[in-house]
Amino acid sequence: MTPPAAWRRLLAEFTGTALLVTAVVGSGIMAATLSPGDVGLQLLQNSVATAFALGALILTFGPVSGAHFNPVVSAADWFLGRRSGTGLTGRDLAGYTVAQTAGAIAGSILANLMFDLAPVTISTKDRAAGHLWLGEVVATTGLLLLIFALARSGRAAVAPAAVGAYIGAAYWFTSSTSFANPAVTTGRAFTDTFAGIAPASVPGFVIAQTVGLLVGTGLLLALYPGAGRTADAVVVDHPATKVTHHD
């Protein structure tokens, strides 16, 4: 079966990432409105909404683009699959990254507008600290291990539930509340709300996420030497994907 056209995959990545950030930002605004003064409850509401939305979005867009919504996932897919001719090409990776980042910014703007805020409200929430960066390394590493382990073992079909559950949990067990996504991090700088991050804090988070990418791919190569052969199944099986190799 012929894979979806490039423009369809890019549109899926743009739209899916936009809706993911809309869910993150919008649920944060709603949580702060409904539960003023109770940050713990706000985080619970934000994390639950994000986890469910992410699972639904993976189900919706996975058959078209793989539902990466994350340059780190796309970069790992390209790197692990390049030797076996699977996964994204370098050109695909560049296109996915641009589409995801643009989508994330659009998602923040959409959330702001839905809650009657200015389209762009640059965040003032400082998140620059070593322990937060460590949290991002842990969150990103764990996310990559989960996604590619599922694909390698032929269980990509459970990725929507598993990835949503992981991100929902990582909101709570990481100090950074698990951004784990350079595109989403960038998009969240465009909203001065509960889920925002100050632009000056974005580079530190992106660097930490890149470190997580390196650590995650290193562990995947050590634990699953054949992970690259199933890169086409990340995040959800494409119609043309057939997993036939096992180590």
Domain ranges of the chain: 6-233
Give CA–CA dist 201/127, Å, rounded.
6
pTM score of the predicted model = 0.93
Average of per-residue pLDDT values in the chain? 93
Of the candidates 166, 171, 180, the residue with the CA atom closest to the CA atom of residue 211: 180
User: Does the domain made of 6-233 have the CATH classification 1.20.1080.10?
Assistant: yes
Contact (CB, 8 A) for 125 and 24: no
Torsion of CA 197, 102, 162, 231, to 10 degrees: -130
Q: What is the pLDDT of residues 189-226, one digit of tens each?
A: 999 999 999 999 999 999 999 999 999 999 999 999 88
Structure tokens at 91: 């050109």
Name the one residue in this structure whose structure tokens are 């409850």.
Answer: 41
Q: Cis check for the bond before 235: say yes or no (omega within 30 of 0).
A: yes
Give CA–CA dist 85/34, Å, rounded.
50
Q: What is the pLDDT of residues 42-68, one digit of tens each?
A: 999 999 999 999 999 999 999 999 999
Structure tokens at 13: 């990545």
* Residue 244: band (very low, low, confident or very high) from pLDDT cuts 50, 70, 90: very low
